[in-house]
């Protein structure tokens, strides 16, 4: 007998439960999205392990010898990332998987024959489940700590841009991991005489990623804010920051590239120093392109490094684009970089827009180019458009 649309379907409750279960597991993602996520995570994990393998693979091996060596080192690259106790669990589980399940007879004290059954695959799976639970517990604790670190890092970054006569500003950052090594800021500081107010523009990129870079980013922010209170020239400010950074840069390994400038609204002049950073782009109202390249070494490499400054005047209609390498070096699935040319095309096509709109279109263009390829570096961009005072 046909069932009317309003009639209850016997299996409906089970289907509803199954749908809810799948919704909870997948968080509403489509199968294609889940596969892309898995593919991205698998690629990232492979890159992590393959670095260890490549570092320990000698030259001159035969094709067979190289294959055996890579398999062995890949195995150890995984095992060595576990604690010793968990390594033992993993090895025991693998051994049990290799032993066929079965039973054996033994004669007890009562002279009766007893049969002992051992399902080795079950116990292997149970050990792997225990190992997975331990690893997940670590991940949850670490994720919680990282989330706290991200909240603290968010406090260090500016909120809404300050109101500066003759300028319109927009900025944003997007970390590759939970926490980032990129930094940006715009804030007021007194000039050398203390008679008038100038505005500091800062964009920096700490070498490395995740927690170590985030910690150095916080140190960079603190030193910049502290040293900016002194009535000193920009070149002296950067030199002092460099000396301080050299005390905790591990001999120059943990350096920071930075673009630091101060803007005088009354003169419409920006004095800047580029400390090894990606060259900011100054696009004039007539379409001419200038790159701000005067400065010196990245901060934290050489204690006695000197920094040269230069001035540029911002006229109405000019755009200043300050960014980190994560923007122009974003790659798609073909390992092709986004590049400055594409960025310049977006800027030229939207030169009449506001910085907020320009920022949205620029990030959207990068996302469209990258597609589902995982982000491999922090992306930060600060846009300034000069307007009539």
Q: Is residue 197 part of a domain?
A: yes
Q: What is the DSSP string of 23-74?
A: HHHHTT--HHHHHHHHHHHHHHHHHHHHHHHHHT--TT--HHHHHHHHHHHH
* Mean pLDDT over the full length of the chain: 85
pLDDT at position 100 is 80
What is the C-alpha separation between 187 and 165, in angstroms, rounded? 13
Over residues 342-366, mean pLDDT = 95
Nearest-angstrom CA–CA distance, 386 and 389: 9
User: Is 305 within a domain?
Assistant: yes
State whether 149 and 127 are in the same domain. Answer: yes
pLDDT-derived band at 116 (thresholds 50, 70, 90) equals low
Q: What is the pLDDT of residue 3?
A: 47
The pLDDT assigned to 7 comes to 46
Q: Are residues 137 and 286 in the same domain?
A: no
Alpha helices in the chain (DSSP H): 12-26, 31-55, 63-79, 84-98, 120-156, 210-227, 234-246, 325-328, 339-349, 355-370
SS3 label, residue 106:
strand
More confident position, 322 or 87: 322
Q: Which structural domain, as residue segments, surrounds residue 197?
A: 161-386
Q: Is the pLDDT of residue 315 over 90?
A: yes
**231 and 258 share a domain?**
yes
Residue 2 lies in a domain: no
Residue 12 confidence (pLDDT) above 70 = no
Q: What is the pLDDT of residue 261?
A: 96
Q: Are strands 269-275 and 295-296 parallel, antiparallel or unpaired?
A: parallel
Count how many residues are written for the chain. 389
Q: In what order do the strands lie in the sheet with 379-386?
A: 167-174, 379-386, 319-323, 281-283, 289-291
Q: What pLDDT is attached to residue 313?
A: 96
Please report whether residue 382 resides in a domain.
Answer: yes
Average pLDDT of span 280-293: 95
283-291: long-range contacts, CB 8 A cutoff, minimum separation 24? 283/318, 283/319, 283/320, 283/321, 283/344, 283/347, 283/348, 283/351, 284/315, 284/317, 284/318, 285/315, 285/316, 285/317, 285/318, 287/348, 287/351, 289/344
Residue 108 lies in a domain: no
Query: Do 137 and 249 belong together in one domain?
Result: no
187-225 confidence digits (pLDDT tens): 999 887 777 889 999 999 988 777 778 888 888 899 999
Which pLDDT score, from 0 to 100, does residue 306 have? 92
Regarding whether 264 and 244 lie in a shared domain, the answer is yes
Q: Would the pLDDT of 301 be above 80?
A: yes
**Token pair listed for 143:** 């994720």
| Residues 139 and 181 reside in one and the same domain | no
Give the CATH number, domain containing residue 360.
3.60.40.10
Q: Is residue 326 part of a domain?
A: yes
Map residue 365 onto helix, strand or coil: helix
Reported as a single tens digit per residue, the pLDDT across 25-41 is 888 888 887 787 787 77
Residues 250-279: pLDDT tens digits?
A: 776 789 999 999 999 999 999 999 999 999
148 or 226, which is more confident? 226
Nearest to 256 by CA among 155, 156, 184: 184
Rounded to a whole number of angstroms, the distance between the first and last alpha carbons of the chain is 80
Q: Which residue has the tokens 């609204």?
A: 265
Q: Is 225 exposed, middle or buried (0-12, 13-18, 19+ CB in 10 A)?
A: middle
pLDDT value at position 1? 44
User: Is residue 113 very low, low, confident or very high in pLDDT (cuts 50, 70, 90)?
Assistant: low
Residue 383 has φ and ψ, to the nearest 5°, of: -115, 135
Q: Residue 4's pLDDT band (boundaries 50, 70, 90)?
A: very low
Handedness of CA 229, 233, 235, 236 (dihedral sign): negative
The answer on 367 and 276 residing in a single domain is yes
Question: Does position 2 have pLDDT exceeding 50, yes or no?
Answer: no
> Which stretch, 95-99, 118-122, 124-128, 306-310, has highest mean pLDDT?
306-310
State how many domains the chain has: 3
Q: Are residues 352 and 374 in the same domain?
A: yes
* pLDDT for the residue numbered 26: 83
Q: Are residues 248 and 367 in the same domain?
A: yes
Does residue 182 sit in the same domain as residue 147? no
385 or 208, which is more confident?
385
* φ and ψ at residue 263, rounded to 5 degrees: -115, 130
Convert 63-93 to b/e letters by CB count within 10 Å (16 or more is b): eeeeeebbeebeeebeeeebeeebeebeeeb
Residues 231 and 366 in one domain: yes
pLDDT of residue 323: 96
Q: Which has more confidence, 3 or 361?
A: 361
pLDDT-based confidence at residue 109 (cuts at 50, 70, 90): low
In three-state secondary structure terms, 301 is coil
Decide if 225 is inside a domain.
yes
pLDDT value of position 97: 84
What's the pLDDT score for residue 359?
A: 95
Per-residue pLDDT tens digits for 38-86: 877 777 777 777 777 777 777 777 888 888 888 888 888 888 888 888 8
Percentage helix, strand, coil for the chain under 3-state DSSP, each rounded to 5: 45, 20, 35
Residue 377 covered by a domain: yes
| Mean pLDDT in residue range 1-19 | 61
Please state, for a pLDDT cut of 70, what percent of the chain lies above it. 92
Based on the domain organization, do 264 and 146 belong to the same domain?
Answer: no
């Amino acid at each position: 007998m046909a069932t009317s649309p309003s009639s209850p379907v016997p299996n409906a409750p089970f289907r509803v439960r199954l749908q809810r279960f799948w919704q909870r597991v997948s968080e509403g993602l489509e199968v294609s999205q889940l596969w892309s996520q898995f593919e991205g995570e698998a690629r990232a994990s492979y890159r992590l392990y393959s670095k260890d393998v490549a570092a320990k693979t000698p030259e001159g091996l035969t094709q067979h010898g190289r294959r055996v060596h890579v398999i062995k080192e890949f195995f150890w690259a995984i095992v060595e990332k576990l604690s010793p106790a968990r390594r033992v669990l993993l090895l025991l589980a693998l051994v049990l998987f290799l032993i066929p399940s079965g039973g054996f007879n033994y004669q007890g004290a009562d002279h009766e024959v007893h049969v002992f059954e051992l399902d080795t695959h079950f116990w292997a799976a149970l050990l792997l489940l225990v190992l997975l639970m331990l690893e997940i517990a670590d991940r949850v604790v670490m994720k919680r700590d990282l989330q706290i670190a991200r909240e603290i890092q968010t406090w260090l970054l500016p909120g809404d841009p300050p109101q500066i006569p003759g300028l319109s500003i927009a900025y944003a950052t997007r970390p590759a991991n939970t926490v980032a090594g990129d930094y940006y800021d715009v804030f007021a500081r007194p000039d050398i005489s203390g008679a008038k107010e100038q505005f500091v523009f800062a964009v920096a990129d700490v070498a490395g990623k995740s927690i170590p870079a985030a910690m150095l980013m916080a140190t960079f922010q603190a030193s910049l804010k502290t040293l900016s209170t002194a009535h000193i020239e920009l070149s002296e400010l950067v030199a002092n920051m460099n000396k301080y950074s050299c005390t905790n840069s591990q001999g120059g390994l943990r350096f920071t590239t930075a673009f630091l400038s101060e803007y005088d609204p009354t003169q419409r002049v920006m004095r800047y120093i580029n400390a090894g950073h990606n060259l900011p782009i100054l696009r004039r109202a007539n379409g001419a392109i200038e790159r701000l390249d005067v400065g010196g070494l990245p901060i934290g490499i050489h204690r006695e490094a000197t920094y040269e400054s230069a001035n540029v005047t911002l006229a109405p209609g000019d755009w200043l684009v300050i960014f980190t390498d994560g923007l122009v070096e974003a790659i798609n699935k073909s390992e092709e970089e986004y590049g400055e040319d594409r960025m310049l095309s977006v800027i030229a096509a939207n030169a009449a827009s506001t910085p907020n709109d320009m920022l949205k279109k620029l990030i959207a263009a990068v996302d469209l180019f990258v597609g589902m390829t995982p982000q491999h570096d922090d992306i930060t961009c600060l846009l300034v458009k000069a307007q009539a005072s």
